[in-house]
Copies of this chain bind each other. A is one copy, B any other.
Amino acid sequence: MGRVRTAAFEDQRGLILAQAARLFARNGYTATSMNEVAAASGVSKPTLYHYVQDKHELLLCVAEFHIARLQALVDEVQALGLPPRERLVQLVQRFVAAYAEARNEHRVLTEDVKFLGDEARARVVAGQRRVVAVFADTLVQMRPDLSGSALAKPLTMLLFGMMNWMFTWLRPEGAIRCDSMAEVVTELFLGGLGSVQVPATTTTSSRSTPPKKETCS
């Protein structure tokens, strides 16, 4: 049947991807050499190239495995059939936990995507967009007046900003636990959501705004 090496091959490949994610996260994609990835994985450089085609594929695999994990998370939560508010609580809680567990991969996803080629980057961005859309839809269900306004996606991105930025300053060994931070994020965001004013004019703004460049002050 299948080649005997497959299981061990995938194990070794997984270890290489994890080590690559660690090095990319710490030193950046460009500043990380394939020699370093090989050494950290306990193999020679030619052996490394037996498991991955090239440096870009290494980056793409790290990013896509992480995106796939996040999409699975979204599917799980949607399968629970919760009302929107409870669904958002679950989403935040599980995303923060997933980010914490895959800290290196998450950093690579948020910082090194620009080093992918155009098609590869487009795939990754499309995956991210699908995840963001679920959050945005949930927000609209919680506040129907957001529907049609231009605010649903920006609000979603502010929420992602809190979660994503968290892992630039929250140390895993620190006194603050990730799950307690997830609670704070939830309280802050859900508590503040009702205070955000939806401008009545924003609904028609998609028609009235010309493609004229609006420089941010």
A48 CB to nearest B CB, Å: 20
- The answer, yes or no, to whether A176 is at the interface (CB within 8 Å) is yes
Closest to A28 in B: B30
- The answer, yes or no, to whether A46 is at the interface (CB within 8 Å) is no
Query: How many copies of this kind of chain does the complex include?
Result: 2
Interface membership of chain A positions 86-105, coded 1 if the CB is closer than 8 angstroms to chain B and 0 otherwise: 00000000000100110000
Cβ–Cβ contact A216 & B172, under 8 A: yes
Cβ–Cβ contact A188 & B184, under 8 A: no
Cβ–Cβ contact B154 & A158, under 8 A: no
- The answer, yes or no, to whether A189 is at the interface (CB within 8 Å) is yes
The listed residue (B151, B162, B215) touching A162 by CB distance below 8 A is: B162
Contacts of A157 in B (CB 8 A): 165-166, 169-170
Interface-side segment among A4-12, A74-82, A194-202: A194-202
Cβ–Cβ contact A214 & B177, under 8 A: yes
The listed residue (B29, B161, B189) touching A164 by CB distance below 8 A is: B161
Please report the C-alpha to C-alpha distance between residue A163 and residue B162 in the assembled complex, in whole angstroms.
9
Contacts of A205 in B (CB 8 A): 175
